[in-house]
Structure 1
Amino acid sequence: MQQVEFDDPLCSQTTLNGLVYDWSYQFLTPDEIKSFAKKRLPVHFKQARDALLTGTYSNPSENREVTHVLSRSRHSVLREGDKSKFAKIVRKLRSGKWLGATGKPITDIVNIGVGGSDLGPLMASFALREFATDIHEHHVYTHFVSSMDGGQLYAVLPICDPETTLFIVASKSFGTIDTFANVDTAREWMLEAFEPLGLDASDWFEHHIIGVSANAKKMDAYGIPAPNQLVFPESIGGRFSLWSAIGLSIATTCGVQVFQQMLEGARLMDEHFASAPVDENIPMLMALIGVYNREEREINNLAILPYDGRFRMLPSYLQQLDMESNGKQFSYTNQTIDRPTGPIVWGGFGPNGQHAFFQHLHQGYDQFTADFVLVLHRTDKRFSKRVQTALAEQQRLAVANCLAHRRLMAFGSQSDTPSEHYPGGHPTSLLALRELTPESFGAIVAAYEHKIFVQGLIWGLNSFDQPGVEQGKKVALDTFRALHGESLSFDPSTDAIIKMV
């Protein structure tokens, strides 16, 4: 692996509406970036980019177009404004006018989904909940359940009341086994409470469940009434779907206005991606630098290190977005690829990481690259001036630690004493927001989406399918049948564990 040696860097920054992308510590000049772009971008790049942004880009393996970008523009779930079905459902829930089967207002919403139907809505709801437009006295609390083992239901159900709880079943296919393992348990929990009251499954379906899917027929077959269904196009991939009706839980947490602002921030990033020159284009720079680090510097992993607690879900979200899209060794024409493609993406909340894995980053053997994510200023008028001052000082502490660790990773600290020697030589980027807003949040997520798309084009991948995931599900079904007594044999280790269950 090539060890990177850094001289004093240029100040290389690109800005867009309060978002600063600083790639100074990548130690590449604008001319080197443009030269690398000329070398690695495919000849059809502009055509492909235009197709993505207009919703006509082809996903060949699934024989459909890719239209998630349109969900924040002309195909938005809010395209009819407050009159849209999406907005009406949100306002009914957040105003206390959605009543459960016994006439009590809904107070708790449980989003049941997995993958893109969980990670995106969970991340955005957590990051933006302080911006909630609480125009009504009634409050709803949103919870998220994804794990097939029921572990999250164990935590959520005891703190909810069946009479005032509504479940959002978020599933593109409306058949994901992980999701419906949780739905079936939730149904039993509800019916157990309902039956002594003379209520049944029809009351559950009418008052306590909303389906969000690309498959209306399956929602019909399951029994969800049409007024309780939100449908989004098949052409929106699950991990790109938080902008669509899958974002219902974001809107129930934060309000329609905040959801719309998030979409607007993403749309502005789309326009920037479409028009900015390569050395000033944030997604393009992120993509090209990532490919350069993967191919020229032979770095196989990218750490996501947010220094603001509201972004603490970002590493998990980007792990799926990137690794499920570009973790492949076959081309979009289904030919074998024998060179590196997408990196391993991992990370964690930076201030906590300093007390955990940063030791390895600073003095371990392995090379890595990292994206630091930082919010420079934070104000919250819910607190007194005195408390706001204390919180602002904490924000400065986070900024100082982020910038210090970023410098130490790049330049190191030389010493003849091994325990005091920091090798440095790790290229990193910084995404700094002047303030976190719904708009800037939407912009940063859209930038990562476009980065992954560009890298997929460079490596000749179809970034919009995930056959490895599907094959794993098929193998799991066979194993599940064996656990229910079918005479199936796998290997001595697996067979031995099955006998223990």
Structure 2
Amino acid sequence: MASSCSSVNSKKKHTANAVVTDKNTLVLHEATCGDLVFDWSYQFLTREAVTEFAAARLPADFAERKAELLNGRYMNISEGREVSHVLSRSRNSVLRDTGSAGGALGGADNSKFARTVLKLRSGNWLGATGKPITDVVNIGVGGSDLGPLMTSFALREFASDIQQHELHTHFVSSMDGGQLYAVLPICDPETTLFIIASKSFGTSDTFANVETVKCWVQEHFSALSPEVASEWQKAWLEHHIIGVSANVQKMTDYGIPPAHQLVFEESVGGRFSMWSSIGLAIATTCGVQVFQRLLAGAAEMDAHFDTAPVTENIPMLMALLGVYNREERGINNIAILPYDGRFRHLPSYLQQLDMESNGKQYTATGEAICAPTAPIVWGGFGPNGQHAFFQHLHQGYDQFTADFVCVLHRAAPKFSASVAFALDQQQKLSVANCLAHRRLMAFGEQSETPTEHYPGKHPTSLFALKELTPESFGAMIAAYEHKIFVQGLIWSLNSFDQPGVEQGKKVAITALKRMHGESDEQFDASTDAIIRMI
């Protein structure tokens, strides 16, 4: 097998350049972009070592490939299309067009996306029985769920105070209906609008939820009157559904009126799509202006990635340090540890972004790779993790690396001065714990008593946001996107496809047919036994 593998990762080791993990000789290493500070001091590498590693591992045509990405011309060769998600927050933004994915520039309030959001948030979008929409349910999965969910949760406190109509946004993704089970009882079919968010507009997980929603809606409308009962589906599609997809034909075939279709380009990958019309749920939660600021922050990171030198370039440093830890130190996992409750969904989002993009054993041209590529990404809310898995991190056997995330200052303008002060003190407590645990993981604590001995020597990085704003959040997420791109180039991967999940879907379809008695295909003793139980 080894002879058939690509030697793309067979590089000279550079471990000798690592600095001893001695707190007395630690050198401060930071890179900044706006209000975002990336501290990589605890990676225990010199700037010279990183520069040397970059020269050894970056492909010769890196500058050209980076320019292609930033200009929407980088090719996803396996799917035969360009990669254009970066343009979603710049010249092809949904806030700049008049309905298509790449229309003429115009005012933000004139775009179809913005008009839709403003109509919902003002209370002017009426349901089939004339009542204003009060609840929006985003039905999607993967990139159509994780990005909007994470960002809506993180930035909802920035929602405009001028909104006079109360609007609640909910998220449903699980194919088992568990989330619908919780959401439907608190919603009214007459005042609930559903966003069907699916790039292909055919994802089985998503439409399993949609079909259950249709049963719920039909049952309600059919009980109102004979006239409404006979026209319930037309009324539902015209007043209670918005489609967000790259597939216009499928939305039209489903019966969604063109006025309720928000389209994004096929060249925008699902897990990179929160900047496009897939971000509708973010805007309904937070408002158009907040969404606009989010895009601006991401665009600022794009410019930083384009021009900053390697040892001051946040995405480049993230990528190179990640490759170094994977290849030179042999660390196979990275923990995402946010110390701010608003970032609760960040680990799940980054897990998809990284592992679905670069979790591969073959190059972009289909050659087998014999060396490790992307790490396992995991993590959790830091303050809760201290009471759960940090014991293993501090005194367990396994090596790991981690990204800590904290917010240094917190404004609380919606509260009284005394409550705002109390919240600020809690923020300081969180930051203190973040810094303390990060430091202990790095330097450890030496003792001959096993229970008091902390090995340390775990390389970590820190994202410190001076204050959480839509701009700083957008910049941080864009930095992670560019990190994935750089690592994909280093490992000769195509970071923009995901064929690994397709085979499982095919087997699932066959198994479902067997459960319904539409197939007699045999699998294995265990699978067949469970199917018989069903």
Determine which of 386, 400, 403 is the counterpart of 1:354: 386
Q: Distance in 1 between matches of 2:40 and 2:503?
A: 38
Matched, 1:52 2:85: no
What SS does structure 2 have at the residue aligned with 1:463? coil
**Does the 8 A contact of 1:322 with 1:345 survive in 2?**
yes
Question: Residues 495 and 429 from structure 1, CA distance in 2 versus in 1: closer, same or farther, beyond 3 angstroms?
Answer: same
What SS does structure 1 have at the residue aligned with 2:336? strand
**Does the 8 A contact of 2:412 with 2:423 survive in 1?**
no
Indicate the residue corresponding to 1:112 in structure 2: 139
Structure 1 runs not aligned, ≥5 long: none
Indicate the residue corresponding to 2:320 in structure 1: 288
What SS does structure 1 have at the residue aligned with 2:115? helix
Indicate the residue corresponding to 2:87 in structure 1: 70
Q: Distance in 1 between matches of 2:530 and 2:285?
A: 42
Determine which of 17, 35, 39 is the counterpart of 1:22: 39
Letter in 2 for 1:16: C
Matched, 1:175 2:208: no
Report matched runs for 1:54-453 at 5 Å: 54-79=71-96, 80=106, 81-197=108-224, 198-199=227-228, 200-453=232-485
Q: Distance in 1 between matches of 2:163 and 2:398?
A: 52
Letter in 2 for 1:22: D
Determine which of 513, 520, 528 is the counterpart of 1:487: 520
Indicate the residue corresponding to 2:531 in structure 1: 498
Letter in 2 for 1:131: F
**Does the 8 A contact of 1:375 with 1:432 survive in 2?**
yes
Q: Distance in 2 between matches of 1:387 and 1:78?
A: 36
Letter in 1 for 2:41: S
Indicate the residue corresponding to 2:102 in structure 1: none
Indicate the residue corresponding to 1:463 in structure 2: 495
Q: Distance in 2 between matches of 1:202 and 1:231?
A: 21
**Does the 8 A contact of 2:19 with 2:46 survive in 1?**
no
The 10-residue stretch of structure 1 (471-480 or 21-30) with the greater mean CA deviation from structure 2? 471-480
Q: Distance in 2 between matches of 1:77 and 1:381?
A: 30
Q: Distance in 1 between matches of 2:426 and 2:161?
A: 27
Q: Distance in 2 between matches of 1:294 and 1:239?
A: 23
Note the C-alpha offset of 1:15. 1.0
What SS does structure 2 have at the residue aligned with 1:61? coil
C-alpha offsets along residues 28-86 of structure 1, whole Å, 9 cap, x if unaligned? 11111000000000001001000000000000000000000000000000013111000
C-alpha offsets along residues 329-375 of structure 1, whole Å, 9 cap, x if unaligned? 00000000000100000000000000000000000000000000000
**Does the 8 A contact of 1:55 with 1:70 survive in 2?**
yes
C-alpha offsets along residues 158-194 of structure 1, whole Å, 9 cap, x if unaligned? 0000000000000000000000000010111111111
Matched, 1:6 2:21: yes
Letter in 1 for 2:76: N
Note the C-alpha offset of 1:136. 2.7
Question: Residues 5 and 496 from structure 1, CA distance in 2 versus in 1: closer, same or farther, beyond 3 angstroms?
Answer: farther
Q: Distance in 2 between matches of 1:176 and 1:244?
A: 19
Q: Distance in 1 between matches of 2:287 and 2:214?
A: 27
**Does the 8 A contact of 1:4 with 1:297 survive in 2?**
no
Q: Distance in 1 between matches of 2:398 and 2:129?
A: 59
Letter in 2 for 1:492: A
**Does the 8 A contact of 1:4 with 1:426 survive in 2?**
no
**Does the 8 A contact of 2:20 with 2:44 survive in 1?**
no
Indicate the residue corresponding to 1:43 in structure 2: 60
Q: Distance in 1 between matches of 2:27 and 2:512?
A: 57
The 10-residue stretch of structure 1 (195-204 or 89-98) with the greater mean CA deviation from structure 2? 195-204
Question: Residues 4 and 338 from structure 1, CA distance in 2 versus in 1: closer, same or farther, beyond 3 angstroms?
Answer: farther
**Does the 8 A contact of 2:136 with 2:170 survive in 1?**
yes
Q: Distance in 2 between matches of 1:231 and 1:146?
A: 20
C-alpha offsets along residues 143-168 of structure 1, whole Å, 9 cap, x if unaligned? 00000000000000000000000000
Q: Distance in 2 between matches of 1:480 and 1:65?
A: 35
Note the C-alpha offset of 1:9. 1.6
Q: Distance in 1 between matches of 2:308 and 2:267?
A: 27
**Does the 8 A contact of 1:174 with 1:213 survive in 2?**
yes
What SS does structure 2 have at the residue aligned with 1:162? coil
Note the C-alpha offset of 1:137. 1.6
Letter in 2 for 1:63: G
Note the C-alpha offset of 1:4. 8.8
Letter in 2 for 1:491: D
Note the C-alpha offset of 1:134. 3.1
Q: Distance in 1 between matches of 2:462 and 2:275?
A: 25
TM (norm. structure 1) is 0.99
Letter in 1 for 2:193: L
What SS does structure 2 have at the residue aligned with 1:185? helix
Letter in 2 for 1:499: R
Q: Distance in 2 between matches of 1:4 and 1:119?
A: 37
**Does the 8 A contact of 1:4 with 1:425 survive in 2?**
no
Q: Distance in 2 between matches of 1:397 and 1:347?
A: 20
**Does the 8 A contact of 1:13 with 1:20 survive in 2?**
yes
Letter in 2 for 1:235: S
* RMSD, aligned α-carbons: 1.0
**Does the 8 A contact of 1:51 with 1:57 survive in 2?**
yes
What SS does structure 2 have at the residue aligned with 1:286? helix
Q: Distance in 1 between matches of 2:33 and 2:163?
A: 34
Q: Distance in 2 between matches of 1:272 and 1:97?
A: 40
**Does the 8 A contact of 2:117 with 2:287 survive in 1?**
yes
Note the C-alpha offset of 1:203. 0.2
Q: Distance in 1 between matches of 2:20 and 2:357?
A: 31
Q: Distance in 1 between matches of 2:416 and 2:381?
A: 27
What SS does structure 1 have at the residue aligned with 2:250? helix
What SS does structure 1 have at the residue aligned with 2:411? coil
Letter in 2 for 1:25: Y
Q: Distance in 2 between matches of 1:357 and 1:438?
A: 30
